[in-house]
Amino acid sequence: MRSGRKAMFARLLMLVPALLLTGCESLSYYHQAIVGQLSLLQQRQDIAKVLQDPTLPAPVRHQLSLVLELRRFADQQLHLPVNQHYSSYVDLHREFVVWNVFAAQEFSLAPQQWCYPVAGCVSYRGYFSEAAAQDFAVSLQQRGLETYVGGVSAYSTLGWFNDPVPSSMLKRDDAQLAGTIFHELAHQLLYVSGDTSFNESFATLVEQEGQQRWLQTLPDADGQQTGLAAVIQERKRQQQFVDLIVPTVAELGHLYQQALLPPQMRSRKAAIQAQLRQRYQELKTSWNGYNGYDRWFAADLNNAQLATVTTYNQWVPALQELLRRQGGDLPRFYEAASQLSRLSAPVREQHLRELIPHP
């Protein structure tokens, strides 16, 4: 067995003592997680070798070649810990690499938390099988929880393994692929156990900043301008989407604090959800036919689903301001963010709130 494979199995075996302390349901979950991760690692192929295949489809060849360029950019310009991450490729033969299950109480926006030996406590549970994710969601619903299942095209093992590029990552345009790689590498750089909102907001900020800086280096002036315009348009729509959700979350949060009987609470909750759908349809009229969020709005719009939006975007404005205060210098920004990460959760949240610019 090669030394790299020995190290891989050693890392997986390090999890076993922790798993033995869990119940049967958790053991089943960790079994699928380990088997799924092991399958990815066993199937990965070095990208440089994949590119030597003359039968490789042109779009895949283009994007895998781009991945190698993005790795260099992330290392040299964004100062991210690239190491051997995303130097290999796995053809999944499925749409997503994992499916995350989110859950919340019927009258609460606080997401359910799950704790793991490596990642600490997070507000989702990931499955390598969509059917397994849906089955788990159903089991939570039977316990009275609201659930949301979302497919994920990429994830980070936080440095435990050399993460491969799954084929699900290649179902994006060049700028989106760049953003995804920068986002996942950011998790390798900074991760706070138990604080999903901070972790995802930090990675989202690095994704956006890295994406813009990379586009500005493209040699083709026309292509650069087109790419930048598309990214600006995408971010504008994304921000409009977030701005649509945040007031709804606040309105529901206020509702859940009222002393109402469950039937009354459900009725008012349904009315707020209906208003959100109506506001989305009104917003779409300014999007010239763009319908990228239709699939999201086709779901229940329950507490678990709405909480995902705030989880991934809550502290982005604060971190944008932190980067601005560092003069746009990424290493200085990383150090400042690292200092925040070492604070207790309540103190960190207070500092982040103070950073958010107010009109």
- Report pLDDT digits (tens) over 139-161: 999 999 999 999 999 888 888 88
Amino acid at 68: L
Alpha-carbon separation of residue 326 from 139, 294, 331, 335, 345 (angstroms): 47, 38, 9, 10, 23
Alpha carbon distance 103, 136 (integer Å): 10
Contact call for residues 90 and 39 (beta carbons, < 8 A): no
pLDDT score of 229: 79
- Determine the longest span between alpha carbons in the chain, in angstroms: 67
Tens of pLDDT, residue by residue over 264-297, are 999 999 999 999 999 999 999 999 899 999 999 9
Chain segment 184-193, per-residue pLDDT in tens: 999 999 999 8
Check if the beta carbon of residue 305 is closer than 8 Å to that of residue 145. Answer: no
The pLDDT score that the predictor gives to residue 237 is 93
Pair type for strands 88-90 and 165-166:
parallel
Q: Are strands 120-122 and 88-90 parallel, antiparallel or unpaired?
A: unpaired
Q: Which pLDDT score, from 0 to 100, does residue 99 have?
A: 95
CA quadruple 66, 67, 71, 76: dihedral, nearest 10: 10
Instruction: Return the pLDDT at 25.
Output: 57
Stretch 245-255: mean pLDDT, rounded? 95
Please give the structure tokens belonging to residue 235. 């971010």
CA distance 299 to 156: 26
Distance (Å, whole) CA 103 – CA 124: 7
pLDDT value of residue 252: 97
The whole-number pLDDT of residue 101 equals 95
> How many CB atoms sit inside 10 A of residue 312's CB?
17
What pLDDT was estimated at residue 3?
A: 45
| Share of residues in the chain with pLDDT > 90 (%) | 69
Half-sphere exposure of 260 toward its Cβ, with a 13 Å CA cutoff?
A: 15
Average pLDDT for residues 61-78, to the nearest whole number?
97
Average pLDDT, integer, range 163-178? 92
At 156, list the tokens: 């980070």
Please report, as a single letter, which amino acid is at residue 43.
Q
Single out the residue of 214, 127, 131, 203 nearest to residue 173, CA to CA. Answer: 214
Bridge partners of 55?
Answer: none
Element (H, E) at 146: strand 146-152
The strand pair at 125-127 and 45-46 is best described as: unpaired
Average pLDDT over residues 3-17: 46
pLDDT at 196 exceeding the cut of 90 = no
For the ranges 6-20, 199-213, 306-320, the maximum mean pLDDT occurs at 199-213
> Given this model, what pLDDT does residue 18 score?
42
Centroid of chain to Cα 142: 27
Residue type, 293: Y
| Nearest to 178, CA basis, from 58, 328, 67 | 67
* Tokens found for residue 191: 């991760």
Helix residue spans in 104-195 (DSSP H)? 130-141, 174-189
What pTM does this model have?
Answer: 0.84
Q: Which residue has the tokens 């509702």?
A: 255
